[in-house]
Amino acid sequence: SAHLGYVGICGFEGLALAWLIGVLVPDFTGPTLYTSVGVPVRLLDLAVIIGGALFFTAINYFGARESARVQVAVTVGKVALSFGFVAFGFAGGTPVNLEPGFLPAEASWHGVLAVLVMVPAWFCGFNALPQALGEARERPSARALAGLLGMVILLTTLFYVAVITATAFAAPRGVLDGAELPVVAAMEAVAGPWGGRIVLVAGVVALLSAWNAAMFAASRLLYALARDGALPSALAHVHPKNGTPANAVLFVGVIALLGGLVGRAFIEPLVQIGALGFAVAFIGACLSSLALRRGAGGGTAAGGFPVAAAWVGALALAGVAIYSAWTILADAGERLPEAAALALWAGLGAAMWAFARARRPRVS
């Protein structure tokens, strides 16, 4: 499930990156090469997707240190640009734009739920940390690691809240509702056209950061599954010089590239299917924590978390996963890309399970 999420995010990053660069430099999008679900795929789209896939595959193939250097650079740039946007949004906006603060009683909750089912995908970055620690020379203590994870989740939440609030603060709701990119429209309302371009640049940097992290985590997760016998052993091959799971990196790079070639029409399907995969994976993490604690007594699950917290997390995520799957299956005729991706995921999962059971009868 987590692997599906990471690969889906890799495909999304390439598509979204090509989209934002096309908005930044509309005169350089090039000719239309083909269409996908009625949406044109242009030369610039393919150049960004193929170039990005090759670049991130290469840096993850040649070593975790190279990947980390790129990650630090783009993260610093992303944070700096994001702080600038939040500051401009609050300085140039007005609290009047926040009204109404809550939905009217007769309003539908469909929009809120539609965003809720995608939340797991936006919180997928922090759980790349365990994979990174597997290649670290020095590892932090369990207490330090728990504190670091908690801090990452808290800061991520505050970041999203700040960006959303600054966007709503900066421009009237009518302006945001009619905009293709609401955050860009909000920045243009308070800082002019150049403000919108700064937001687009920040978006490009953020996508580069997320693409690199997803590529790193997906390849290491694939390697771990192969090492434990759940996937073909060839994917557990470690490069003798670079010390990286070379075959797993190449495999993820190819799959992510193919996912990016399907075109911009698949941006939302990739996010929704990826979010569903992460929700199921997070449920598995909660239940695994409880299973490891079973029979040991006490009030904490594995990792020191309260049993009640693990159950609450599992049940909440189960609700998100069920609603996400239902929205895909209920409108399968109108949402063919999501339904097809879900069916493919289920088929691949069943095949992987059968492969693992054949090699390791006690796999769970």
Quick one: which of 67, 59, 83 has its CA closest to 128?
A: 67
Q: Report the C-alpha dihedral over residues 134, 140, 144, 149, rounded to 10 degrees.
A: -20
Pick from 47-51, 53-57, 256-260, 340-344: least confident: 340-344
pLDDT at 57: 92
Domain regions of the chain by residue span: 2-100+108-265
Question: Residue 354's beta-bridge partner residues?
Answer: none
Give the C-alpha separation, 199 to 250, whole Å: 32
Quick one: which of 340, 351, 182, 346 has its CA closest to 262?
A: 340
pLDDT at 214: 83
Residue of 305 and 169 predicted with greater confidence: 169
Pick from 124-133, 147-156, 227-236: least confident: 124-133
Banded pLDDT at 54 (limits 50, 70, 90): very high
Residue 56 has pLDDT above 70, yes or no: yes
pTM of the model: 0.78
Query: Could you say which of 1.10.10.10, 3.40.50.300, 1.10.1370.30, 1.20.1740.10 is the CATH number of the domain covering 2-100+108-265?
Result: 1.20.1740.10
Rounded CA Rg of the chain: 21
Q: Write out pLDDT tens, residues 230-266.
A: 777 888 898 888 888 899 999 888 888 887 888 777 7
Q: pLDDT exceeding 70 applies to what percent of the chain?
A: 85
